[in-house]
């Protein structure tokens, strides 16, 4: 407890799922957490759950929205000590089924959004800050129906390698958490009425025999954000119940 006392953390996509679980953990350990997301009502509910938090409505794929996020951070006057680029979207579609519009939206949110989140943070990113990017095991698994989504997450992983080198002079570490299947609202968004059926099928194929709770992924994010991982830089930490490990 208290590992982030007096620090400021930014968590994109912080109103639900992994982002919300991460924001709650960071706040519980002393950080003031700035969260962003596209739905104002959901953000308000999240702030009530998190406690010491500020919400900024915005879309990470829109430059002006991201700049407004960091303007709010400037007004707090403390800079950013922890940056979690978590916001993302998903779809399940084969090469034949993927439309140009859906392909563009995936890359706008998952790749461009991650890029803008980190680039626009640079003027307020404190020396020795920790950056954690949330990718996915889909970035390296070649799972059918996950081509475009997997490509976006492979790009996120690639960014981390380069940014870890580019930001090392400022003492900034950049790492990646790649979750496997996690019990978040995205299941309902992607699969609709079939969500529980698909989730059960996926869980049956995992060594863990279940999907992850968002808090289990948040624990890995917070570890990489903390001083306990001070000599860990540029890594990809899989949190996947053994899905791609055994």
The SS3 assignment for 181 reads coil
Asked if residues 206 and 239 have their Cβ atoms less than 8 Å apart, the reply is no
In the chain, how many H helices and how many E strands? 10, 7
The SS3 assignment for 4 reads coil
Catalytic residue among 4, 70, 115, 149: 149
How many residues are present in the chain? 246
Q: Rounded CA gap, 141 and 165, in Å?
A: 25
CA 38 from centroid of its chain's CA atoms: 15
Q: Rounded CA gap, 144 and 165, in Å?
A: 33
Closest C-alpha to 4, from 72, 50, 59, 56: 50
Within 8-148, strands assigned E span 8-12, 32-37, 53-57, 80-85, 125-134
> Does residue 149 have an active-site annotation?
yes
The SS3 assignment for 84 reads strand
Asked if residues 175 and 237 have their Cβ atoms less than 8 Å apart, the reply is yes
Residue 70 has φ and ψ, to the nearest 5°, of -75, -20
The SS3 assignment for 205 reads coil
Annotated catalytic residues are 149
């Amino acid at each position: 407890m208290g590992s982030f006392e007096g620090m400021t953390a930014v968590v994109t996509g912080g109103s639900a799922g992994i982002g919300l679980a991460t924001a709650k953990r960071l706040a519980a350990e002393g950080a003031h957490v700035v969260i962003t997301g596209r739905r104002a009502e959901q953000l308000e509910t999240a702030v009530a759950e998190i406690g010491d938090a500020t919400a900024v409505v915005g879309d990470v794929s829109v430059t002006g929205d991201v700049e407004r996020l960091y303007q709010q951070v400037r007004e707090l006057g403390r800079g950013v000590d922890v940056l979690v680029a978590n916001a993302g979207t998903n779809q399940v579609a084969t090469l034949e089924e993927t439309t140009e519009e859906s392909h563009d939206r995936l890359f706008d949110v998952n790749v461009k959004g991650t890029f803008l989140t980190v680039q626009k943070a640079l003027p307020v990113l404190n020396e020795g800050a920790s950056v954690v990017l949330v990718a996915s095991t889909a970035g390296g698994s070649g799972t059918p129906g996950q081509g475009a989504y997997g490509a976006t997450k492979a790009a996120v992983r690639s960014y981390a390698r380069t940014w870890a080198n580019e930001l090392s002079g400022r003492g900034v570490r950049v790492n990646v958490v790649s979750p496997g299947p996690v019990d978040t609202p995205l299941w309902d968004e992607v699969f609709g009425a079939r969500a529980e059926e698909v989730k059960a099928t996926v869980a049956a194929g995992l060594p863990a025999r279940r999907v992850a709770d968002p808090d289990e992924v948040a624990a890995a994010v917070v570890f990489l954000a903390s001083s306990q991982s001070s000599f860990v830089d540029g890594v990809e930490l899989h949190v996947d119940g053994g899905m791609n490990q055994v």
